[in-house]
Chain A
Amino acid sequence: MTMEATRYDDGTISYPGHPRSRNGAEPVGTIDLSEHTAEVVTWTTSTATPPGIREPNHLAIVEFDVGEVVEDGETSVRALVQLTDGDIETGDEVEPVYTEKLREPGAGIREPDSQDWDGYRFEPV
């Protein structure tokens, strides 16, 4: 299992990847974010969760510094992730923990075979 961000020909990086960058550039490589820690930009605890999701659901936007693995262009990339719990503050450093099922496939409206349901939760380092 990986958590792949995509690098593009114009130096931008995105997670998730897209067929083209926001400027229309082609992909040139990937970065596995599961090998990196990240910083919490903002977070929330959602108490009104949809079908197939734990309640409460702890969520954050986190930012990865990937400057060590890119030679030029952008050196950071953000992701929206689940947190293991709500004991968190903005600015905390967090690391990924593999989770087999982030959401119950088929419990909601999305077709179960149309996407992945495993991934990473993040917890303070």
Chain B
Amino acid sequence: MTESDRVAVIGASMTQFGQREEWIQELLAEAGLDCLEDAGVDADEIEHLYVSNMTSGEFEGMTGVMNALAHDIGALPAYTQRVDQTSSSGGAGIYAAWQSIQSGASEMTLLVGGEKMTHRTTGEATDIIASITHPVEYTAGVTLPSFAGLTARHYLERFDAPRESLAKVASKNHRNGVDNPHAQFQKEVDVETILDSPIVADPLRLYDFCPITDGSAAMLFCPESVAQEYTDEYAIVAGVDGATDTHVVHEREDPTVMGGVVESGQGAYEMSGYGPEDVDVAELHDMFTILEFLQMEGLGFAEQGEAWELVEEGYTERDGELPVNTSGGLKSKGHPLGASGVAQGVEIYEQLVGEAGDRQVEADVGLCCNVGGFGNCVITTIMEAAR
């Protein structure tokens, strides 16, 4: 790493998301090997290997997944580390990979995020994810979807936003997912169907929520000077930052503001020199439709209480001013916890190097925001096309 070097991304991959027969070890290896092939890099060149994963122990009884992956793909004796930051483990993995290159500790870092979830019932999966909550929240039986219901009602009542605006987020992201061959759901869902679907956490309904998903995604990082030995088509990590909000969700001063989104966004903007007006495409953590509004506002794409108006205007459509979740988002693509933040990075990378296929938009600068818990931990990453 020379003084003028920047951190580059030279390869990316994601497995098919959805209900998979493979277990975590196989899913991680699949994405990792595909990523190395995409970049034309041999496994023995990897110096650091990070695995973003939240719950392989709880879901599958499998721990030490980073060690297993290094062995399975032939990356020994690379330094390995598992990165757990709940649902933002993938974003935290990007931050860790960036640090490893930026610090000079590694000249080739592979990041693989993955989760195996669908073999559990919805109740069991919901409970495992809700184990992040404080005892007073856990005793009350709060789940991440019920946090979303509480917040959505508050947002709609306070800002006089129509219920349909949330359904339009889901409909848009499903429409985008049709063109993502790796997405769990590749079908359009109209607003009426969303509004008629069963209530899960009033006022939110089934289609306001992402599915339970198996899958894995990977990115390969190195100094820009090394990237140029392999390819002319790469992306640069221009800015990345992470921040933490309260563990107890109701202790936040304003239920419609995610402090971690605001803080990490400001840090990423400052590092990159870009502002919200410079972002051409964004992947936001739409685990629940209401989160897309909160992140648009927290990241400065909209004033507080006004994101719903932009969605109504088509501002966030693929052909809009700021395409949001061109991948289909977590909503349509799926949400295999530890993989999701990495998959956001994969989408932005593909958009910047022109490999997004039918989802391609014109983009020189892309942003991804990966949310852990209900805004408890957040990582925002800004990437730019190499030039």
Contacts and interface: CB of A to CB of B under 8 A. Distances in A.
Interface of A: 14-16, 22, 41-54, 57, 59-61, 78-82, 86, 90, 102-103, 108-110, 114-117, 119
Interface string B146-188: 1001110110010000000000000000000000000000000
A18 B249 CA distance: 14
Contact of A57 (B122, B141, B151, B203): B141
Classify the interface of chain B: helix, strand, loop or mixed.
helix
Interface in B237-289: 246, 248-251, 255
A51 B131 CA distance: 12
A103 B154 CA distance: 26
A116 B140 contact: no
A115 B139 CA distance: 8
A47 B250 contact: no
Interface of B: 58, 122-124, 126-128, 130-131, 134-143, 145-146, 149-151, 153-154, 157, 198-204, 246, 248-251, 255
B255 A61 contact: yes
B199 to A, nearest CB: 6
Given A47-B199, A59-B149, A61-B255, 5 more contacts: A44-B202, A45-B199, A47-B198, A86-B202, A108-B127
Contacts of B249: 80
A47 B200 contact: yes
B123 A49 contact: yes
B136 A82 contact: no
Contacts of A102: 139-141
Contact of B134 (A16, A53, A60, A81): A16
Contacts of B141: 46, 49-50, 52-54, 57, 59, 82, 102-103
A82 to B, nearest CB: 5
Contacts of B146: 44, 46, 57, 59
Given A22-B251, A108-B127, A48 B122 contact: yes
B154 A41 contact: yes
Contact of A117 (B131, B139, B203, B246): B139
Contacts, number: 129
B201 A78 contact: no
Contact of A46 (B135, B198, B200, B250): B200
A48 B126 contact: yes
Contact of B137 (A80, A108, A117): A80
A38 to B, nearest CB: 12
A122 B203 CA distance: 20
B130 to A, nearest CB: 6
A51 B138 contact: no
Contact of A61 (B124, B126, B136, B250): B250
A78 B251 contact: yes
A42 B255 contact: yes
A47 B201 CA distance: 6
Q: Which 5 A-B pairs have the closest CB atoms?
A: A44-B149, A53-B141, A115-B135, A50-B127, A42-B154
A110, A116, A119, most chain B CB atoms within 10 A: A110
Contacts of B251: 14-15, 22, 78
